[in-house]
Amino acid sequence: MNVLIVHAHYEQESFSSALMHCAVDVFESGGHEVQVSDLYKMNWNPVASASDFGEREHSEYCVYALEQRKACQAGTIARDIAGEIEKVKWCDLLIFNFPMFWCSAPAILKGWIDRVFVSGLFYGGTRFYDRGGMTGKRAMVTLTLGGRDHMFGKDAIHGELDVMLRHLVRGTLGYCGFEVLKPFAAYHVPYISDEERGVILDDYRIALRDIAARQSVDFPRLSDFDEAMRPLRPSV
The rounded distance, in Å, linking the Cα atoms of 38 and 17 is 9
Q: How far apart are CA 20 and CA 142, in angstroms?
A: 9
Nearest approach in angstroms of CB 160 to its own copies is 10
Sign of CA dihedral 222, 228, 232, 233: positive
From candidates 156, 182, 192, 197, binder to its own copies by CB under 8 A: 156
Span 19-48, contacts to its own copies by CB under 8 A: 40, 46-48
Q: Of the ranges 16-24, 79-87, 167-175, 204-212, which one interacts with its own copies (CB under 8 A)? A: 167-175
Residue 31 CB, nearest approach to its own copies (Å): 33
**What 3-state class would DSSP assign to 185?**
strand
Q: How far apart are CA 153 and CA 142, in angstroms?
A: 18
Among 7, 70, 137, 170, binds its own copies (CB under 8 A): 170
Q: List residues bridging with 179 in a β-sheet.
A: 138
Q: Which of 132, 37, 42, 35 is nearest to 92 (CA)?
A: 35
The window from 68-76, 132-140, 196-204, 223-231 that contacts its own copies (CB under 8 A) reads 223-231
The answer to whether 147 and 188 have CB atoms below 8 angstroms apart is: yes
Helix axes 107-116, 79-90, angle to 10 degrees: 80
Minimum separation from the CB atom of position 236 to its own copies (A): 10
By CB under 8 A, residue 95 contacts its own copies: no
Span from 80-88, 98-106, 178-186, 200-208 in contact with its own copies (CB under 8 A): 98-106
Residue 58 interacts with its own copies (CB under 8 A)? no
| Residues paired with residue 216 on neighbouring β-strands, in sequence order | 181
Total number of residues binding its own copies (CB under 8 A)?
Answer: 58
Q: Does 76 bind its own copies (CB under 8 A)?
A: no
Q: Which of 31, 75, 136, 234 binds its own copies (CB under 8 A)?
A: 234
Phi, psi of 131 (to 5 degrees): -115, 10
| CB contact at 8 A, 46 and 114 | yes
Which stretches of the chain bind its own copies, using CB under 8 A?
A: 10-11, 13, 40, 46-50, 61-65, 101-108, 110-111, 113-114, 117, 129, 146, 148, 150-151, 154-159, 163-168, 170-172, 175, 190, 220, 222, 225, 228-231, 234-235
